[in-house]
């Protein structure tokens, strides 16, 4: 399977706990993105990496959220002190940016439920 | 704030008919336009992208872009029950530092194809 993979697919946690999600992009892609989607809404941008550099964080990403992409390969998204409002589908996407073209392909997502 | 607007639907068409999905966007500087299909409980799947004014056809799908009217559409010919899904319109505007990368999504249109 050469698509974007995410782990875990589902996570149930109690309020106040920390959670970490992993994303493995398509191997030749140089850009990696995190989005969040709640019911009835389109995905919303959270953050973006060009290789290993994190180039933008959305205002949606409070200081409880941190993302890393060591060595420009896989990425992790950590949420500290989870709140019920963090319950959502967390989507990772990757792309190969070339000549202003940037088709983004999504992984299966991690569905987070905060009790 | 950059916005992407879609009719939420549901749009219901009989099997074999043409389904027409519409999208408008507010950022006149947008250069890249995408249609994603999302089945219930699944992640978005890229089905069409278009960068230039006019029509782009791929199998049963045709994307149409009119930058002057800030309008993009998706036509699905010979609609099948398996096409029943939410269709998300997404646009890449200009990010910080002049780099285009961030997808802004509409809320999606629910399409139902009736056998």
A74 pLDDT more than 90: yes
Interchain CB contact of A108 with B (< 8 Å): yes
What local confidence, expressed as pLDDT, does residue B31 receive?
87
Question: Quick check: B95 pLDDT over 80?
Answer: no
Does A84 touch chain B if contact means CB atoms closer than 8 Å?
no
What pLDDT does residue A3 have?
94
Q: Has residue A41 got a pLDDT over 70? A: yes
Considering A28-32, A109-113, B90-94, the range whose residues carry the highest mean pLDDT is A109-113
Please compute the mean of the pLDDT values over residues B4-33 and round it to a whole number: 93
Identify the CA nearest to A34 among candidates A73, A1, A66, A81: A66
Is A43 within 8 Å of B103 when comparing Cβ atoms? yes
What are residue B88's DSSP bridge partners? B36
Say whether A42 and B108 touch across the interface (CB within 8 A): yes
Q: Do B105 and A97 touch (CB under 8 A)?
A: no
> Which tokens hold the place of B79?
């609609």
**Nearest 10 degrees: Cα torsion A45, B66, A95, A20:** 20
- What is the rounded CA–CA span in Å between residue A13 and residue A47? 23
Reading the block at residue A5, the tokens are 């993979």
A26 Cβ under 8 Å from any chain B Cβ: no
Of B49, B101, B105, Cβ closest to residue A43: B105
So what's the pLDDT on residue B63? 98
């Amino acid at each position: 399977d050469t698509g974007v993979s995410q782990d875990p697919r589902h996570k149930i946690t109690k309020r106040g706990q920390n959670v970490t999600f992993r994303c493995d992009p398509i191997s030749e892609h140089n850009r990696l993105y995190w989005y969040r989607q709640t019911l009835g809404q389109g995905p919303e941008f959270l953050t973006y990496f060009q290789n290993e550099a994190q180039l933008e964080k959305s205002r949606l990403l409070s200081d409880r959220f941190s993302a890393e992409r060591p060595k420009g390969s896989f990425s992790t998204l950590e949420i500290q002190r989870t709140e019920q409002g963090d319950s959502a589908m967390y989507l990772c996407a990757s792309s190969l940016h070339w000549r202003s073209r940037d088709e983004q392909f999504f992984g299966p997502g991690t569905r987070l439920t905060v009790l | 704030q950059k916005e992407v607007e879609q009719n939420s639907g549901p749009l219901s068409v009989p099997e074999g008919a043409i389904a027409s999905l519409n999208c408008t966007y507010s950022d006149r500087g947008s250069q890249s336009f995408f249609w994603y299909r999302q089945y219930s409980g699944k992640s978005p799947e890229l089905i069409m992208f278009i960068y230039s004014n006019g029509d782009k056809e791929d199998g049963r799908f045709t994307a149409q872009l009119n930058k002057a009217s800030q309008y993009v559409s998706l036509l699905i010919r010979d609609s099948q029950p398996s096409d029943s899904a939410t269709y998300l319109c997404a646009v890449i505007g200009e990010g910080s530092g002049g780099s285009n990368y961030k997808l802004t999504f509409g809320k999606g249109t629910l399409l139902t194809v009736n056998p």
